[in-house]
Amino acid sequence: MRPCFILFACAALAGCSTPETLTRSGLVSAGIPKPIAACMAGRMVDRLSILQLRRLAGLGKADRSRDLDQFLYRVRSLRDPQIIAVTGSSAALCASGMVR
The pair phi, psi for residue 66, each rounded to 5°, is: -70, -40
Report d(CA 97, CA 49) in Å as an integer: 25
Q: Would you list the domain boundaries of the chain?
A: 19-96
Q: Taking residues 60-87, what's their average pLDDT?
A: 87
d(CA 76, CA 71): 9
**Looking at the predicted structure, is the pLDDT value of residue 10 above 60?**
no
Whether residue 27 contacts residue 60, with contact meaning beta carbons closer than 8 Å, is answered with yes
Dump pLDDT digits (tens) for 15-29: 567 899 999 998 998
pTM of the model: 0.77
Q: CA-based diameter of the chain, in Å?
A: 53
pLDDT digits (tens, 9 = 90+) for 62-74: 677 788 888 899 9
Which pLDDT belongs to residue 61?
67
